[in-house]
Structure 1
Amino acid sequence: MTSNNTTQSRIKILYVVESFSTGVYSIIKDIACNLDPDQFELLILYSLRDDSPKNPEADFQYEHITLQYVPMGSLKDYIPAVKTIRNVIKKYQPDCIHVHSSKAGFLGRLAAKGLQKKVLYSPHGFSFLRTDVSALKRWIFFQLEFWICRYLPSKIIAVSEGEYKHALRITKNSIVINNFIDLTMFQKEDNRQSEMIVTCGRITAARNPALFNSIAKKLPNHTFMWVGDGPQRDEINAPNITVTGLLPRTDAVKYVKNACIYVQTSLWEGMPVSVLEAMAAGKPVVASNIVGNRDLIDDGITGYLCDSSSSDQFAERINKLLSSEELRITLGANARSYVEAHHDVQKAIAAYQDNYKSM
């Protein structure tokens, strides 16, 4: 139990999170739960999505962490959310505010204006990198990011080198803390290998389910699995694809551990936790050649990078891996070694704590 004197001297951090699901959720959970409770206390303002955990409180049962629900998901929520966040800032008096993802990043900084608080912003994938919207909308998204950073100057923490390069277009006050993985969840002796070709995440435009479906149709004699669910599930109709529906992270990880090959067909990313998990499990990854994926995959060494418009190229790389167990083992081992060296949770936590202290 932390003493009262220690509690009073702890650094107070406020998180504002709208995207409380999938990879963002797992990263926030791992940061929050690994912060030194003798040095930090944390209040998390969060919103829920249809694929958010049903009982997030169960994942944050630590003395130094408090959760508070604040709806931020739809247009009608925006003004009430800004008012609520602002009132919380005034009452809680955090030493540092850390806003996560584009929507919470915008609302949180509006709320903090004039309150003399230091703000960190983690985009977890800039909205202006989306390819499912028009060029005009992407320009608008960039302008919103650019001007909110001038309305309330903040330090951007990019989750990959690729995201960092885009962050510098907004502000030079940007750094990189690579996304990370808790390697204890992926003990080498736990990893088995089936013949399943797996992907994991929300079935949305960002993950490009139409491409995954097309790849499966080109390889009809092989079994594919999408671990997750989402609004574009109808895009998946190949008879050799199984869709699991929403699963707890621990169950989803089991499918990744048992996969033969992991596939990531994303159109845009920050740095995908799902790919980190697959690499930590020692799986060769075949991924689209985009920001985030190419920050992780060394083509031909830890996996393969493919054109996000070419199901033929994906199918060719997957066939190459299927034809050689030795190649799968070699690329998978390289992937695991790379994650151990560059994406370990404890190194990332130390970097976050240093930034919180320096604010």
Structure 2
Amino acid sequence: MAARGIETTVVTQTGSYFFELSNAKGWKTFGFDFSRRKNVLRISRGISELLERETPDLVHAHGARSALPVSLLPRAKRPAFAYTVHGFHFDQKGPGSRQFFKLVEKLCIGRADQIIVVGRADEAFAYREGLIDDPRRWSQVYNGVELPPGCIISQRPEFDVAFVGRLHPQKNPLVLPEILAAMKRPSARMLIVGGGELETSLRENCRSFGVESQVTMTGTKSRADALELMSRARIFVLPSLWEGVPVSVVEAMKMGLPVVASRIAGNQELIRHGETGLLADPLAPTEFAEHLSSLLDYPQLAQSLATRAASFASTTFSIDNQVTAHLRIYESAISQSRARRPR
């Protein structure tokens, strides 16, 4: 953005990885506590005051947690508003909660001048749920993903399988020890990078399935450290129950790691089974185990999948493409916002 003459201000979770990174880069950065939904009115007031001081042409909110405080601002106090949906998570809620969180999404979508989805599966879901009233306000833009310089796979891997992600029910990490046990390879090593509320349960599963000595758990790591650890593996695995377009899979593809992932909408947008990776039922650990074993047994198959995946990811998920698309969307949002204002 800066290279194209766009001055950007970052508003994010105080103390988060992105907050620290943004400050280190010297970007203008402001922190709020987005971690609690009950703070939404307080955050809205803070953002309102910030917008009055900074007078931006546009505010771009990522996810409903940040879009809701912006949506609650009076139109007169809100500049042009773009909203990126990072997955429609209300679909994973119970019946009562599902309706409430769907209404929250509808509010954010209704107040935004432009809405962005990061994958075709989310766009199709929005149509099914009746969330798209005016297709001209909607765009699908893939996230640009670039690896740090020198991030290449190791020629002497330490691990056979790597998982990188939050230890959260969405990512389905508790199935990992069962997958490893089903592989029936006592010498196989699995790397698990990430932290979260399921860490204790995951350690217990490793013990109960008898694979504790085969698993290395690192806890939460920075992106650079996580990618460096990922590069020491032979295969990347992601058994998620639901996804938008998982960045970790794109990173693995660009790095040249073959991927075995769950057969769900977001992953199927990235992986053509047997061409750019392998897919398995997230509730069938034996199917995951069979795919992982086949890639370990047949390195040529693993290499051919990885090569095709890297070619696909390098052309589809570029930063330049994402920035170009966003600038076009910003111009549309600003024009729509100005047309709304009283003359």
- Above 0.5 in TM-score? yes
Q: Distance in 1 between matches of 2:156 and 2:97?
A: 44
Match of 1:145 in 2: 105
Distance 1:76 1:147, change over 3 A: closer
Alpha-carbon deviations, 1:225-263, whole Å to 9, x = none? 111111111231311222101112111111221211100
Match of 2:131 in 1: 170
Alpha-carbon deviations, 1:305-326, whole Å to 9, x = none? 1112111111111111111010
User: TM (normalized to structure 2)?
Assistant: 0.85
Over the aligned positions, Cα root-mean-square deviation in angstroms equals 2.2
Distance 1:256 1:118, change over 3 A: same
- Secondary structure in 2 aligned to 1:244? strand
Q: 1:100 aligns with which of 48, 51, 62?
A: 62
Distance 1:298 1:192, change over 3 A: farther
Whose Rg is larger? 2
Gaps in structure 2 of 5+ consecutive residues: 207-211, 335-343
| Contact in 2 for aligned 1:297/1:305 (Cα 8 Å) | yes
Structure 1 position 91, deviation (Å) = 2.2
Q: Distance in 1 between matches of 2:123 and 2:150?
A: 28
Q: Which amino acid aligns with 2:59?
A: I
Q: Distance in 2 between matches of 1:147 and 1:79?
A: 15
Distance 1:216 1:190, change over 3 A: closer
Q: Which amino acid aligns with 1:170?
A: L
Match of 1:124 in 2: 86
Greater Cα offset, 215-224 or 239-248 = 215-224
Q: Distance in 1 between matches of 2:331 and 2:147?
A: 26
- Secondary structure in 2 aligned to 1:296? coil
Q: Tell me whether 1:46 sits opposite 2:19 in the alignment.
A: no
- Secondary structure in 2 aligned to 1:297? coil
Q: Distance in 2 between matches of 1:149 and 1:348?
A: 21
Match of 2:280 in 1: 306
Q: Distance in 2 between matches of 1:39 and 1:66?
A: 15
Gaps in structure 1 of 5+ consecutive residues: 1-34
Q: Distance in 1 between matches of 2:156 and 2:250?
A: 17
Match of 1:234 in 2: 200
Structure 1 position 178, deviation (Å) = 0.5
Match of 1:20 in 2: none
Match of 1:271 in 2: 245
| Contact in 2 for aligned 1:86/1:112 (Cα 8 Å) | no
Q: Which amino acid aligns with 1:269?
A: E
**Mapping for residues 108-257 of structure 1, pairs under 5 Å:** 108-111=70-73, 113-130=75-92, 133-150=93-110, 152-168=111-127, 169-171=130-132, 172=135, 173-183=137-147, 185=149, 193-220=157-184, 221=186, 222-237=188-203, 238=206, 239=212, 240-257=214-231
- Secondary structure in 2 aligned to 1:341? helix
Q: Tell me whether 1:56 sits opposite 2:19 in the alignment.
A: yes
| Contact in 1 for aligned 2:164/2:248 (Cα 8 Å) | yes
Structure 1 position 357, deviation (Å) = 3.3
Structure 1 position 194, deviation (Å) = 4.0
Match of 1:4 in 2: none
Structure 1 position 72, deviation (Å) = 1.9
Q: 2:307 aligns with which of 317, 333, 340?
A: 333
Q: Distance in 2 between matches of 1:251 and 1:354?
A: 34
User: TM (normalized to structure 1)?
Assistant: 0.82
Distance 1:186 1:280, change over 3 A: farther
